[in-house]
Chains A and B, each alone.
Chain A
Amino acid sequence: MISVSQLTKKYNNVQVLNIEHLEIPKGQSFGLVGNNGAGKTTFFSLLLDLIQPSSGYINNNDVLVHESEAWKPFTSSFIDESFLIGYLTAEEYFYFIGELRNQNKADVDKLLSNFQDFFHDEILGKKKYLRDLSKGNQKKAGIVAALIGNPEVIILDEPFANLDPTTQIRLKQILKDLAEKQGVTILVSSHDLMHVTDVCERIVVLEKGDIVKDLQTSEATLKELEQHFSGQFMV
């Protein structure tokens, strides 16, 4: 689905990302972990063509991301709160995104009805603008908006941060289902090793822009990751 080749990103001659080769097959749930400044958000921004690669390219379903816009109809994402339109209510925002993705009101309503318990009655019908919602609720709205319109690739940056435990568990289930049952390719980054190992079948560790580990998730993965990151700190 997604293949990355010779991808680098430099800011003022400082290299912040350098991925020689990365292949993400369709329907994989892919986790990206790394400390602050490891290049997670940079990688996602490149995937969404929000910044320009210094060299190399990303190929998303046979579309060169930095050259064509044809990846947009089947790719959706939630990176941060700047993906929300603050002066809309959650419903209005969902319908807006729906209209952009050729979904009518009924389609969106149908999708939303699956997320009643995910919203925990705090998002819909509240007569509140998105800018007035709490950080966690904003995040919920943004994540669900990224699921509108049957995307084939979903990119979520730090989806678990700021969420309450109940929602974290629900979200993990939703993401797993999407990847396993519907064949959606899911890219997730997180600081929380446990969540990532729960959700993702494959985990890549970034360190200062380089891929240092590429693991198929198994029983031992969490231990290995914990060791990796604690080892760093002891040096």
Chain B
Amino acid sequence: MIRRFISMEWKQFFRASYFQKGLAIKILLVLAALYFGGIAILSGAGLFFILKKAIPEVDPIVTINNFLIFWILFEMLIRFFMQQLPVMNIKPLMIIPIKRNTVIHYLLGKTTLSFFNFLPLFFFLPFAIVLMTQGYPVTNVVCWFFSVMFLSLGLNYLNFLINKNNAVFYAIAGLLMILIGLEYFQIYNIIEPIGEGFNHLYKHPYLVIIPLVFMMGMYFLNYKYIKQGFYLDDAVSKKVKEVNATDLSWMDRFGSVAPFLKNDIKLIWRNVRPKQVMFMSFMFLFYGLIFYTQEIYREMPAFLAFASMFVTGGFLMTFGQLVPSWDSEYYKMLMSQNIPYKKYLESKWYLMVVAVAISFVLSTPYLYFGWEIFGMIAAGALFNVGLNSFITLFGGALNRVPIELNVKAKAFSNTNGFNPTQMLIALPKFLLPMLLFYIPYKLINFNAGLIILGLSGVLGLVFRNFFLNKIESIYQKGKYKTISAFSEKK
């Protein structure tokens, strides 16, 4: 039976429409997978030596154990957002004489092959091997390694249990924040007691039984949960959520754009996929931390300009590049309704501008790095509002990939917006702020760079109508193509 399931999966995979996309994309995806896998392997192997050099007085394994809790919580978050519950077409199997247990075990077993389970494997296996070559006791290392793997797999199953529960997510995110906060501000050294726990796992190999029991427990709970729900009206059919209607009529003051704006807010609030994008764009806020903290980049202000643009531009870029696609599910209706295209575009533009403004406010803590950095962020925000928004909308016009709103994007199978044109469009987004800053910076001085970068955005605002009209005409031209691409079955 299992063999039959596997052959079905095989067909599902190779006959799926995304698989029939261009060869270039496939190659890129494979490269990306190799890249991340490679990075994991390399950093796993190198970590021992890095830690030894950075903190010579502490045993690297102790350091690792201290930070393991962060790894686990972070992994949990990533899984929560990115990992999808495996959906096998259960419905046709329900009336066929196959034991339920077989189906459920298969379903759960399948999740083991997820990319998210391989990442820790790729990371910790090389690390463990290095440990052994460095003369650490083999039993301890092996058992510790398995402990970590069991924990990770346990998270895998735990994720499916909590996946429908946002409260759990906020709890974990909050816990992560608190832990980082406690550690960073050195209020209470929370890391050590937890790390001590993981150290015990290492010191006493037989304790591997605890993670093993945790994993098996999670597996069993999932098994029970799915078995209970193995009826049409439960797990198989989607959960119907009660509407949380908020009164958005105050937005009517935006005039003719208001109906679209109200819709877009609901779009983001009520669908899984746009929420994911929101989360991602929140992450962009921290992009600056990578650049501003490194001394090397202090000498390369062009890169700082690039990073500053990213800090406020997260939502703009991640949401904006998929602009007509967000409405792909009902695009036909929009096209036959009494809709002026420009209003539709304008609404998206307002949304992006508001997002930049909010990101800008949230980025005030970067003042810590000084006024120069903050000035760059401000100039970057202006650039985002005035120019980047239009470049992004323009790029979106060329993007005709339908989106399922209420389905999470899968890691590595989501090729939305991942095509050569899209990449070409992305180039000016990155290069333009760098050039706009760098040339006046080289020719005159730092402040001139800031002013020119900011002015470019203001200029964009002045010519707003011109840009919107141009983009609108592109949309009009591509109308039929877009409609037919969006109505294609996935």
B243 (CB) vs chain A CBs: closest residue? A127
Q: Is the CB of B336 within 8 A of A72?
A: yes
Q: Are A86 and B336 in contact (CB under 8 A)?
A: no
| Mask: chain B, 310-345; 1 = CB below 8 Å from A; 0 = not | 000000000000000000011111011111000000
Question: Could you say which of B94-102, B164-172, B263-271 contacts chain A?
Answer: B263-271
Interface residues of A in 17-55 (CB under 8 A from B): 48-52
Q: How many pairs of A and B residues are in contact by the CB < 8 Å rule?
A: 82
Contact of A100 among B241, B270, B335, B339 (CB under 8 A): B339
CB distance from A198 to the nearest CB of B (A): 27
CA distance A49 to B406 in the complex (A): 28
How large, as a class, is the contact surface on chain B? 20 to 34
**Contact string against A for B residues 474-490, beta-carbon threshold 8 Å, 1 for contact and 0 otherwise:** 00000010011001000
- How far does the alpha carbon of A49 sit from the alpha carbon of B483 in the complex, in Å? 10
Select one of B240, B259, B484 contacting A96, CB under 8 A: B259
* A129 and chain B: residue at smallest CB distance: B243
We find that the number of chain A residues with CB closer than 8 angstroms to chain B is 31
CB–CB A89/B245 < 8 A: yes
**A71 CB to nearest chain B CB (Å):** 10
* Bound CA span A87–B329, Å: 10
Residues of A within 8 A of B266 (CB): 87-88, 92
Q: Which of A48, A92, A99 contacts B336 (CB 8 A)?
A: A48
Q: Is A82 an interface residue (CB 8 A)?
A: yes
Q: Are B330 and A86 in contact (CB under 8 A)?
A: yes
A182 to chain B, nearest CB (A): 19
- Of the candidates A51, A82, A101, the one whose C-beta lies within 8 Å of that of B333 is A82
The answer to whether the Cβ of A132 comes within 8 Å of any Cβ in the partner chain is yes
Q: Complex Cα distance A76/B483, Å? A: 18
B238 CB contact (under 8 Å) in A99, A101, A132, A149: A132
Contact check, A87 vs B406: say whether CB atoms are below 8 A apart: yes
Task: Tell me the nearest residue of chain A to B245, going by C-beta.
Answer: A89
Known A127-B242, A132-B238; contact A77-B267, beta-carbon cutoff 8 A: no
Which of A97, A100, A127 is in CB contact (< 8 Å) with B245?
A127
Across-interface contacts of A87 in B (CB, < 8 A): 266-267, 270-271, 405-406
Query: A82 CA to B329 CA in the complex, in Å?
Result: 6
CB distance from A30 to the nearest CB of B (A): 18
Complexed CA–CA distance, A87 and B263 (Å): 9
Asked whether A84 and B330 contact (CB < 8 A) given A92-B266, A129-B243, the answer is yes
Q: Are B337 and A72 in contact (CB under 8 A)?
A: yes
Given contacts A86-B406, A87-B406, A100-B338, contact A92 B333 (CB under 8 A): no
Q: How far is the CA of A117 from the CA of B365 in the complex (A)?
A: 58
Are B333 and A83 closer than 8 Å at their CB atoms? yes
Contact B483 A50 (CB under 8 A): yes
Q: In the complex, how many angstroms separate the beta carbon of B481 from the nearest chain A beta carbon?
A: 10
By a CB distance below 8 angstroms, the chain A residues around B338 are 72-73, 100-101, 149
How many angstroms between the C-alpha atoms of A128 and B238 in the bound complex?
Answer: 13
Interface of chain B residues 325 through 382 with chain A (CB within 8 A): 329-333, 335-339
The answer to the question of A79 belonging to the interface, with a C-beta cut-off of 8 Å to chain B, is yes
Closest to B267 in A: A87
Cross-interface CB contact of A88 among B240, B263, B336, B487, cutoff 8 Å: B263
User: Which chain A positions have C-beta within 8 A of B242?
Assistant: 127-128
Rounded to whole Å, the gap between the CB of A15 and the closest CB of chain B is 18
Nearest CB of chain B from residue A126's CB, rounded to whole Å: 8
CB A148 to nearest CB in B, in angstroms, measures 10
Q: Is A172 an interface residue (CB 8 A)?
A: no
Of chain A, the residue at the smallest CB distance from B333 is A83
Residues of B within 8 Å of A128, CB to CB, are 240, 242-243
Q: Determine if A92 and B337 form an interchain contact, defined as CB atoms under 8 angstroms apart.
A: no
A131 in contact (CB, < 8 A):
yes
Q: Which residue of A lies closest to B339 (CB)?
A: A100
Q: Are A49 and B330 in contact (CB under 8 A)?
A: no
- Which of A48, A51, A96 is B263 in contact with, Cβ under 8 Å? A96
How far is the CB of A195 from the nearest CB of chain B, in Å? 24
User: How long is the Cα–Cα vector from A75 to B330 in the complex, in angstroms?
Assistant: 17
Q: Are the C-beta atoms of A86 and B259 separated by less than 8 Å?
A: no
Contact B336 A82 (CB under 8 A): no
Please tell me if A63 contacts chain B, counting CB pairs below 8 Å.
no
Residues of A94-112 contacting chain B, CB below 8 A? 96-97, 99-101
Q: Which residues of chain B are near A79, meaning CB under 8 Å?
A: 332, 336
Query: Whole-angstrom distance from the CB of B122 to the nearest CB of chain A?
Result: 38
Contact B336–A129 (Cβ < 8 Å): no
A85 at interface by CB-CB < 8 Å: yes
Q: A86-B405, A129-B241, A131-B406 are in contact. Are A49 and B271 (CB under 8 A)?
A: no
Residues of A within 8 A of B483 (CB): 50-51
Nearest CB in chain A: distance from B242 CB, A: 6
Q: In the complex, A51→B479 CA distance in Å?
A: 9
In the bound assembly, the distance between CA atoms of A99 and B240 in angstroms comes to 27
Residues of B within 8 A of A149 (CB): 338
Q: Tell me if A83 and B330 are in contact (CB < 8 A).
A: yes
A84-B333, A99-B259, A127-B245 known; A51+B270 contact, CB < 8 A: no
> A72-B336, A86-B406 known; A92 and B245 CB under 8 Å?
yes
Interface string of B250-294 (1 = CB under 8 A from A): 000000001100110011001100000000000000000000000
* Closest CB in chain B relative to A27 CB, distance in Å: 21
In the bound complex, CA of A50 to CA of B481 (Å): 10
Residue of B nearest to A77 (CB): B336
Instruction: Give the distance in Å from the alpha carbon of A83 to the alpha carbon of B487 in the complex.
Output: 11
B245, B259, B331, B335: the one within 8 Å of A49 (CB): B335
List 20 additional A-B contacts (Cβ < 8 Å) besides A50-B335, A52-B480.
A48-B335, A50-B480, A72-B337, A76-B337, A82-B333, A83-B336, A84-B330, A85-B329, A85-B330, A87-B406, A92-B266, A96-B262, A100-B259, A100-B338, A101-B337, A128-B243, A129-B241, A129-B243, A132-B238, A132-B240
Listed by A's residue number, 30 A-B pairs whose Cβ atoms lie within 8 Å are A48-B335, A48-B336, A49-B335, A50-B335, A50-B336, A50-B483, A52-B480, A72-B338, A76-B337, A79-B336, A82-B329, A82-B330, A82-B332, A82-B487, A83-B332, A84-B330, A84-B333, A85-B263, A86-B330, A88-B266, A89-B243, A92-B266, A97-B337, A101-B338, A127-B242, A128-B242, A131-B406, A132-B240, A132-B241, A149-B338
